[in-house]
Structures are given as C-alpha cells and as structure tokens.
A and B are shown apart, each in its own frame.
Chain A
Amino acid sequence: LAKTTQPISMDSYEGQEVNITCSHNNIATNDYITWYQQFPSQGPRFIIQGYKTKVTNEVASLFIPADRKSSTLSLPRVSLSDTAVYYCLVGDFYSGGGADGLTFGKGTHLIIQP
C-alpha cells in the first residue's frame, strides 16, 4: 500500500499559482495518483487523476516526474474560494480488488489570502 506524504498546510495569495507536492516513494507500477479537494462541511470533490508526465484539465494540472515518486498539483491563479483541504491518493484503482488507493490521509490545508 503506497503511503503518501503532504505538507500539513500552505498559504498563498489571490492570483498566485499554487503547487502542492505529494511524496509517494513506494508507488507501484499499476498505481495511479488522484487528488481531491474538500471544503468544510462537504464531501471531497475530485480534481484530477494521472499516471505519468502531465495531466491538465479546466481547474488544475498534475505533474508527475519520470520516477513517479512524487507528484505536484498545480492550481493556476488561485482565488479565496480555493481555500480548502487537498488530498493526494495513490493506488491501483482499477485492479478489481482491495481498498488500495482509498486512503486519504490528513491532506494539505491551503489558505488563500486577499
């Protein structure tokens, strides 16, 4: 079971780009990397998922180096509403068995200031 390590908290300002890095040194060949966002009193919301190199969607980018031992979630031009907890999950989501990849950890509490 791949274990992830993220910073407990980060601060930034509106309009800045924010990068949150997750370490997963024991990532396995079949493991994918998924990021979720959670606001207070709400369930987590899917942001992005990737396996290698770079993935981009309308809200974020995910950078994964060749060794896949870490990944970086990049949020462009953040706003106050991006203040939330961000979780990195790693696991073989498609294997058909096990809860691998369903461990959220404590996440990174991102605080955006004006």
Chain B
Amino acid sequence: GAGVSQTPSNKVTEKGKYVELRCDPISGHTALYWYRQSLGQGPEFLIYFQGTGAADDSGLPNDRFFAVRPEGSVSTLKIQRTERGDSAVYLCASSPRQGYEQYFGPGTRLTVT
C-alpha cells in the first residue's frame, strides 16, 4: 500500500515568508508525528497528534510554528516569518497507534534564503 507522502519535496523561500508543509499519513494510522532534521543530526521531535488533537507539542521551537490535523488524517505544518535557522528537512511519520513503529515519509527539504 501507499506509504507516508510529503509535499513539496523541496521548498525554497525567502526570510520572513510563510510556508506550509503537508503530510499524508498511511490510511488508518491514528498517530502522526512531525520532526525536523538538520545536517549531521538525528531527527528532532516537534509535535505529535492522536487523531485530530495535538497530544504533545512540546518540541515546537516557538510560536512561529503551528501544526493542524483537522480531520485526523492529513496534517499541515505551518511556519510563519521564516528564518534562515528554520532550514532543515522536515519529516513526518505515522503509526497505527501511539507507541507502535513509526513509518516515515521522505521529508520536505526547506531552505530559507
């Protein structure tokens, strides 16, 4: 079956702009996770959802970052007033239930110029 998909695969934006990154999880997976990964580092947790609600958003670095999952499926990570330090690969993962193995998407490479 289809895996986790993320769009766009690459996004280049100017400092100060707003961006949205989309994640389509595996059908039926109730848990959805967002991470970001900088070069040479492991994935850094941002937020995870159980269904439509954010179960834990403690990893969001500041209030410029926000994520939604209105229908319990597709999720969008929103970044306002982007900064060069936001440049990274943003990874999305889903799992059948919290605690079970996570299935990762290919990521969106965000570059802020």
> Which of A's residues lie within 8 Å of B, judged by CB?
32, 34, 36, 41-46, 49, 85, 87, 93-99, 102-107
25 of the cross-chain contacts (CB-CB < 8 Å) are: A32-B99, A36-B102, A41-B107, A42-B107, A43-B91, A44-B91, A44-B102, A44-B104, A46-B102, A93-B98, A93-B100, A94-B98, A97-B55, A98-B56, A99-B45, A99-B58, A99-B59, A102-B45, A102-B48, A104-B35, A104-B44, A104-B45, A105-B42, A106-B40, A106-B42
Contacts A45-B104, A49-B101, A99-B59 known; 6 new A-B pairs at CB < 8 A: A42-B107, A43-B93, A43-B104, A85-B42, A94-B99, A99-B48
- Least Cβ–Cβ distance between A91 and chain B, in angstroms: 9
Q: Does B106 contact A (CB under 8 A)?
A: yes
- Least Cβ–Cβ distance between B79 and chain A, in angstroms: 19
Taken together as a complex, chains A and B put the C-alpha atoms of A102 and B57 apart, in Å, by: 12
Q: How many chain B residues have a CB neighbour from A under 8 Å?
A: 26
Contact present for A96 and B107 (CB under 8 Å): no
Most buried by A among B58, B100, B102: B102
Known: A49-B101, A102-B33. A87 touches B106 (CB 8 A): no
Instruction: Rank and list the top 9 A-B pairs by shortest CB-CB distance, nearest first.
Output: A43-B104, A104-B42, A93-B99, A46-B101, A94-B99, A102-B45, A104-B43, A99-B56, A99-B45
Q: Does B41 contact A (CB under 8 A)?
A: yes
Measured CB to CB, the nearest residue on chain B to A91 is B99
- Least Cβ–Cβ distance between A95 and chain B, in angstroms: 8
Residues of A contacting B43 in the complex (Cβ-Cβ under 8 angstroms): 44, 104
Contact present for B45 and A103 (CB under 8 Å): yes
Taken together as a complex, chains A and B put the C-alpha atoms of A85 and B104 apart, in Å, by: 15
Measured CB to CB, the nearest residue on chain A to B101 is A46
Report B77-113 CB contacts with A as 1/0, cut-off 8 Å.
Answer: 0000000000000010100001111111111000000
Q: In the complex, which residues 49-77 of chain B have their Cβ closer than 8 Å to any Cβ of chain A?
A: 55-56, 58-59
Taken together as a complex, chains A and B put the C-alpha atoms of A95 and B48 apart, in Å, by: 14
Residues of A contacting B98 in the complex (Cβ-Cβ under 8 angstroms): 93-94, 96
Taken together as a complex, chains A and B put the C-alpha atoms of A34 and B98 apart, in Å, by: 13
